[in-house]
Amino acid sequence: MQAIKRMGILYGKFGLATDAELIEARGVGVEAAASALTTDGIPELLRYVFGLVRDGAAPAFFEAFSEKDPTFDVQPADKEAILLATSIASYELENDTSLSGVLALCLVTASVGGLRKPALDDQLLILAERTLAEAQGHSNVIPKPRAATKQPKELAEMVVNLDSATNQQYLHTAKPALMGSIQELIKYVEAVSSATAKADNETLTYVTALEKELRTHWWVTGGWSTDAAKPFRQIATVEAALRAGKELYDKNPAKFGLFAAPALLSLVVESGRQGELGDVSIIEAATNLDRAWRKETYGALAVGKLADLIPFSTAQGLAADSADAEDWQPRFKRLTDIDPSMKLNPLDLALQVYRERLVLAGLSK
């Protein structure tokens, strides 16, 4: 796997003098840790990927290495812990598992459009973006035509046996054939019912997704902010971006997000505006909306267990809690390792709001 090959390169690139046999053993541990990864383990893994862990207890993914190598002695604060977490994430993204899509979404979101990069491997973001795009493309599959469930051979044979048995003089001799026919018939009916329900559910899921897409289409076409109750073009650019990101999620909370989300947000935010959209700092954006609403919406999230992985939501919550005084800024920097004075384009800001809501939904299940 490319992830294992890159792991070997990273050992050399970052000056960790590790022999080939140990690297090979670490590769086995990476595969085991990736297989054991769950949704609950994603936040911890990403904190190591972004170098946000300074000390503390050993992470859960260390267990896979310890099981494969009793001499495993890497410490949570070691650089090698970040390297192993990076390799686990890379391996998971490459192998198209049930967690690849949500891991990719969380990783891309935590990077805040590239403002915060993985501690050891910039290529990880490229891989995550590609994996996320693939997951988004497969999230709404068109139902396939379903062939009729054929009568099983066993049922036909039992009916023939029943007909033969009932022609005999004594009916009790027909009982085995009769019961066998009934049992096979029950199995057939259940199989048909199950196949029909599955097909109906697939169709219902597809139609529901189409309805959401239609509602999203009208939202974009109309350019009307549901929350502000007025056209987006009449709202200041930064506020429009923040509202657009939230409202797109409200209209279509697809599991991995919509592949076309950047284009849709662009249509909504830029419509009716002249010239380029100027970049905005996290500080300005985080203090833009009504303070009471921000405190109610993001206050708990800013001190919650996912705070460092949803940076912009955290920024809004911390700012509101500090009455928008400057003391929230160093707290934000310590927590996320992101300078709040850094700037984002309003369209990237809208996409960040949208994705952070997706991450919260995905990791809360």
Per-residue pLDDT of the chain (365 residues; tens, 9 = 90+): 688 888 888 887 777 666 778 888 888 999 999 999 999 999 999 999 999 997 788 999 999 998 888 888 899 988 899 999 999 999 999 998 999 999 999 999 999 989 999 999 989 999 999 999 999 988 666 667 766 667 677 766 766 666 666 665 555 666 676 777 777 777 888 888 888 888 888 888 888 888 888 999 999 999 999 999 999 999 999 999 999 999 999 999 999 999 999 999 999 999 989 888 999 999 999 999 999 999 999 999 999 999 999 999 999 999 999 999 999 999 999 999 999 999 999 999 999 999 999 999 999 86
The DSSP symbol for 145 reads P
Q: Cβ distance 314 to 335 under 8 Å?
A: yes
What pLDDT is recorded for position 288? 96
Closest by CA to 304, choosing from 339, 335, 283, 340, is 335
pLDDT at 122: 85
Tokens representing 150? 């054929």
DSSP run (H or E) holding 29: helix 20-36
Predicted pLDDT at 198:
85
Both tokens assigned to 98:
């049930």
pLDDT at 365: 64
> Which residues are 343's β-sheet partners?
281
> Got the DSSP string for 51-84?
T---S-SPPTTHHHHHHH-TT----TTSHHHHHH
CB 295 within 8 A of CB 320: yes
Angle between helices 79-94 and 123-137 (to 10 degrees): 30
What's the whole-model pTM score?
0.85
Token match 């891989």: residue? 127
| Rounded alpha-carbon distances, angstroms, from residue 236 to 42, 248, 269, 273, 320 | 36, 18, 10, 10, 20
- Exposure of 150 by Cβ count < 10 A (0-12 exposed, 13-18 middle, 19+ buried)? exposed
CA distance 67 to 17: 23
